[in-house]
């Protein structure tokens, strides 16, 4: 049985990331970028699809809550070094205790994975197994020895493994194995370095110096966090996770570092999230700015402008790390899927959907950037007007909505509301700065027309709630954002009724689903999914805004408690099984945690700081 999703921790170098299990195995790593083919893909298959495990010899066997089955008794604890993405896993065995420190140094040119084994007490024998499998676990490389390294080569990929001091390694069962013993105070450091196979091996790094520099860099970044309210550690860990999901060369932020972790165990709702979604833009920008991370916010804004440039009719809902537009979806049939959840997908065809809300999110992000004083980009206003010109011609069309449903297009209320946001923010900017070009009266008329239509066609007066789409009886958690974006004031009876209806009808054992998936009414897919975590954060925000502050804080406390032992959240949660679901860790969930903390505690009169 594979580890649970929450059994993993994240390490990364601002260009890619790896998942490390509680059993000491790295089961997912894409090199050299987040969206590159994985060289460790055991997460979505088996050990034969690539992994790298270092653990005490006594800890062999499947991991359980109490320890590995059939092995000598041992205990495992793990934690990040404060303010960093450096992971310590400590093993207590009958023979002694040992620590494995995992991290990826901020790279100069080549990506490295460093694993430092340190004896803490007694005398512990450890085993290492490295199975490199390029191209998502499908390619077994040729292995050789060179210059004190084990070298793997296959096609465009090459990886070099070395240890300091040198330990004995041997090949067996298409893997590289090692066995070594450490006593208290002794260390053995392993370094795995990837580079294109046609290039020379990059310069060697000092693993111990790299650890020191990595800690200094991460902790210096963490020290800039302005938030000082309750649950500061949870907020900071979420911000560190968001930082780890930023592709440093471009400023783009991936939704998650993984693909195809299921929203339902054994189901088909398995998607590739290693791309940058425009829908996350305003909330991401707001979280970074509010916490004091202006450089990252500006880099994200600039990425957004580059990605959105061009014909507004061609605006996509998501892009590659550098703004790439082609993200073809395909299925990897040689992978069995996480706990037999198939298909395993790479790419994402939702990139070509029409989602009108992204236009509003882009414009709202640009408005937020101006309001917070980010350095202006001269072409941003021209782009904004072009987006509004497109919306003026298109906003009455149905779309797929922010949840990227695979069913028919509909007139989703949230999409129309975000069209209103685009017009509203543009009108406000022109009112504040009369020198800005544009036809303000035309945009006012458009804004009013959208508002009027949503209130007439998207509101069910009999039930006292807005609905998911025009003429439906379904609800949608995205309706909770109406007061947040300013479409209606929080005390409007229509808002109060909507918040109550969404809470009552979409709550699933204490947490919120995105929408009803019964009988595949909306999304065109079989099966169900778990509670969508960011939606529960939105509910806490809405409860706070509508005056139910105690209820909001109680919900926030329950959500914070769902984080795994190192503070990470997936996309969804199964409250029946008590397990996390979906791609992991999920930027949207951590953005929700930061945003809700700022909403509940971020001002002095609400008892917080920052």
Q: 3-class SS at 286?
A: helix
Residues paired with 252 in a beta bridge: 247
pLDDT tens digits, 120-134: 999 999 999 999 999
pLDDT for 517 equals 56
Position 340 confidence tier, pLDDT thresholds 50, 70, 90: very high
Determine the Cα–Cα distance for residues 254 and 275; give it in Å rounded to an integer. 5
Determine the Cα–Cα distance for residues 592 and 561; give it in Å rounded to an integer. 14
**What's the predicted TM-score (pTM) here?**
0.94
> Do 256 and 586 meet the contact criterion of CB atoms below 8 Å apart?
yes
Among candidate residues 437, 436, 450, the one with its CA nearest the CA of residue 391: 450
Among candidate residues 321, 272, 245, the one with its CA nearest the CA of residue 12: 245
The region of weakest confidence among 161-170, 205-214, 369-378, 436-445 is 369-378
Q: 3-class SS at 54?
A: strand
Q: Which residue has the higher pLDDT, 75 or 61?
A: 75
Which domains, ranges and CATH numbers included, belong to the chain? 5-221 (2.70.98.10), 224-601 (1.50.10.10)
Furthest C-alpha separation in the chain = 78
Section 173-202 average pLDDT? 96
Determine the Cα–Cα distance for residues 579 and 592; give it in Å rounded to an integer. 19
Q: Which residue has the higher pLDDT, 118 or 309?
A: 118
Residues paired with 167 in a beta bridge: none
Section 311-319 average pLDDT? 92
pLDDT for 604 equals 30
Position 378 confidence tier, pLDDT thresholds 50, 70, 90: confident
pLDDT for 59 equals 80
Q: Is 64 left (phi over 0), alpha (psi -120 to 50) or beta?
A: beta
Among candidate residues 427, 394, 411, 525, the one with its CA nearest the CA of residue 469: 411
Position 274 confidence tier, pLDDT thresholds 50, 70, 90: very high
Query: How many other CB atoms sit within 10 Å of the CB of residue 231?
Result: 19
Answer whether residue 605 shows pLDDT above 50.
no
Residues 6 or more apart in contact with residue 562 via CB below 8 angstroms: 533, 569, 573, 580
Answer whether residue 495 shows pLDDT above 50.
yes
Q: Which residue has the higher pLDDT, 66 or 331?
A: 331
pLDDT for 522 equals 66
Answer whether residue 94 shows pLDDT above 70.
yes
> Do 115 and 190 meet the contact criterion of CB atoms below 8 Å apart?
yes
Q: Please state, for a pLDDT cut of 70, what percent of the chain lies above it.
A: 95
pLDDT for 518 equals 59
Section 125-152 average pLDDT? 94
pLDDT for 64 equals 38
pLDDT for 562 equals 98
Position 147 confidence tier, pLDDT thresholds 50, 70, 90: confident
Residues 6 or more apart in contact with residue 366 via CB below 8 angstroms: 301, 304, 305, 380, 383, 384, 425
Among candidate residues 327, 173, 329, the one with its CA nearest the CA of residue 252: 327
Position 58 confidence tier, pLDDT thresholds 50, 70, 90: confident
Determine the Cα–Cα distance for residues 75 and 56; give it in Å rounded to an integer. 11
Distances (CA, A) of 112 to 12, 25, 141, 180: 10, 16, 18, 22
pLDDT for 73 equals 63
Position 524 confidence tier, pLDDT thresholds 50, 70, 90: low
Q: What is the mean pLDDT of the chain?
A: 93
Answer whether residue 109 shows pLDDT above 90.
no
Among candidate residues 282, 37, 51, the one with its CA nearest the CA of residue 154: 37
Answer whether residue 69 shows pLDDT above 80.
no
Q: 3-class SS at 575?
A: coil
């Amino acid at each position: 049985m594979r580890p649970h999703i929450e059994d993993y921790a994240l390490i990364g170098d601002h260009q890619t990331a790896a998942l490390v299990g509680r059993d000491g195995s790295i089961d997912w790593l894409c090199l050299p970028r987040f969206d590159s083919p994985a060289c460790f893909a055991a997460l979505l298959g088996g050990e034969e699809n690539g992994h790298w495990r270092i653990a005490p010899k006594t800890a062999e066997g499947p991991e359980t809550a109490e320890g590995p089955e059939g092995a000598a008794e041992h205990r495992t604890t793990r934690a990040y070094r404060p303010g960093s993405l450096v992971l310590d896993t400590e093993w207590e065995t009958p023979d002694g205790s040992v620590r494995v420190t995992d991290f990826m140094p901020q790279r100069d040119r080549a990506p490295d994975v460093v694993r430092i084994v340190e004896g803490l007490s007694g005398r512990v024998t450890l085993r290492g197994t490295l199975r490199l499998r390029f191209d998502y676990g499908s390619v077994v490389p040729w292995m050789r020895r060179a210059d004190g390294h084990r070298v793997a080569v296959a096609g465009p990929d090459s990886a070099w493994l070395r240890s300091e001091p040198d330990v004995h390694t041997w090949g067996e069962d298409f893997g590289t194995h090692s066995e070594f013993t450490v006593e208290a105070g002794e260390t053995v450091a392993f370094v795995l370095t990837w580079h294109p196979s046609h290039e020379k091996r990059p310069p060697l790094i000092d693993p111990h110096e790299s650890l020191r520099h990595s800690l200094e860099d991460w902790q210096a970044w963490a020290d800039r966090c302005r938030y000082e309210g309750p649950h500061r550690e949870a907020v900071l860990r979420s911000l560190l996770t968001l930082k780890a999901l930023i592709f440093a060369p471009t400023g783009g932020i991936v939704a998650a570092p993984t693909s195809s972790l299921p929203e339902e165990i054994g189901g088909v709702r398995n998607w590739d999230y290693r791309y940058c979604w425009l829908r996350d833009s305003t909330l991401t920008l707001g979280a970074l700015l509010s916490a004091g991370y202006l450089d990252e916010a500006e880099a994200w804004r600039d990425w957004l402008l580059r990605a959105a440039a061009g014909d507004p009719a061609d605006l996509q809902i998501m892009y590659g790390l550098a703004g790439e537009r082609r993200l073809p979806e395909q299925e990897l049939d040689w992978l069995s899927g996480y706990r037999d959840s198939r298909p395993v997908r790479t790419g994402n065809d939702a990139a070509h959907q029409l989602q009108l809300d992204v236009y509003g999110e882009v414009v709202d992000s640009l408005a937020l950037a101006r309001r917070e004083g980010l350095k202006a980009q001269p072409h941003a206003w021209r782009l904004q007007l072009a987006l509004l010109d497109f919306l003026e011609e298109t906003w009455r069309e149905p779309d797929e909505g922010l949840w990227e449903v695979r069913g028919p297009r509909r007139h989703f209320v949230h999409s129309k509301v975000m069209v209103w946001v685009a017009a509203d923010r543009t009108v406000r900017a022109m009112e504040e700065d009369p020198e800005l070009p544009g036809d303000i009266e035309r945009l006012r008329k458009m804004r009013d027309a959208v508002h009027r239509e949503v209130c007439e066609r998207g509101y069910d007066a009999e039930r006292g709630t807005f609905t998911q789409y025009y003429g439906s009886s379904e609800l949608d958690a995205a309706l909770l954002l109406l007061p947040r974006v300013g479409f209606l004031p929080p005390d409007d009876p229509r808002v109060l009724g909507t918040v109550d209806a969404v809470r009552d009808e979409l709550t699933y054992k204490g947490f919120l689903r995105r929408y009803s998936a019964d009988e595949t009414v909306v999304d065109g897919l079989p099966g169900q999914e778990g509670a969508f975590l960011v939606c529960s954060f939105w509910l806490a925000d809405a409860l706070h805004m509508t005056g139910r502050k105690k209820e909001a804080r109680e919900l926030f406390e329950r959500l914070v408690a769902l984080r795994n032992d190192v503070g990470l959240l997936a996309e969804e949660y199964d409250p029946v099984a008590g397990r996390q679901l979906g791609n992991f860790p999920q930027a949207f969930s951590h953005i929700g945690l930061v945003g809700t903390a700022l909403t509940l505690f971020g001002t002095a009169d609400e008892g917080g700081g920052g």
